[in-house]
Amino acid sequence: MLNYKAEKSIEALRRLVAPRAKVVRDGLVQEIASRDVVRGDIVLIEEGDEVPADARLIESKDLAIDESSLTGESESVKKEAKVLEEDIPLVERRNLLFMTTAAVRGNGKAVVVGTGMNTEVGKIAEEIRETKERPTSFQLELNALGKKITYGVIGIIAFILLVQFLIGAADFATIFLTAIA
């Protein structure tokens, strides 16, 4: 009974701290878990809100976004609901909001264009996951040194075996054990 109550309390706490998003669905403003936001949802962003998904602004009022989690830039970026040319670099698209960024001023309304791995953050995560780790020059040198040592040891063992065998020191098993030792 006590475990059941504890589990229910933990679940309630998780719901409280889980990121939430305000969306417009069927003409009504609803607050839902950020993970439940889908493409096509209209999200409402206010100062202090985390952007739940990649979205294109359709309305904005003095909106500034902290994109440091995505770009590393410490300055907030002013966002506007303008139509922009398609060939503008991603970081200069002032009408896009990106998942994991946060509103530091103003408010806006945006239509979700990407969620989860179909966001810019998701693309970065996928690239990182697919990137194969290349050995450093130090690791390459260590590998080469390891091979040289291995070949040297094998050569010394072979030399000792040959010398012991040629002088007829003992039977093969004794010669072999002596060479390895």
Question: Which residue type sits at 112?
Answer: V
- Quote the pTM value: 0.63
Q: What is the CATH number of domain 2-130?
A: 2.70.150.10
Q: Are 107 and 60 in contact (CB under 8 A)?
A: yes
Q: How many other C-beta atoms lie within 10 A of the C-beta of residue 66?
A: 19
Q: 75: helix, coil or strand?
A: coil
Phi, psi of 74 (to 5 degrees): -85, -20
Can you give the residue ranges of every domain in the chain?
2-130, 137-180
Distance CA(68)–CA(168), nearest Å, equals: 76
Digitized pLDDT (tens) for each residue of the chain, 181 residues in all: 556 666 766 665 555 556 888 999 988 999 998 889 999 999 999 999 999 999 999 999 999 999 888 888 888 889 988 887 777 777 778 889 999 899 999 999 999 999 988 888 888 888 888 777 788 899 999 999 999 999 999 998 888 888 887 887 677 777 777 767 7
DSSP code string of 145-161:
HHHHHHHHHHHHHHHHH
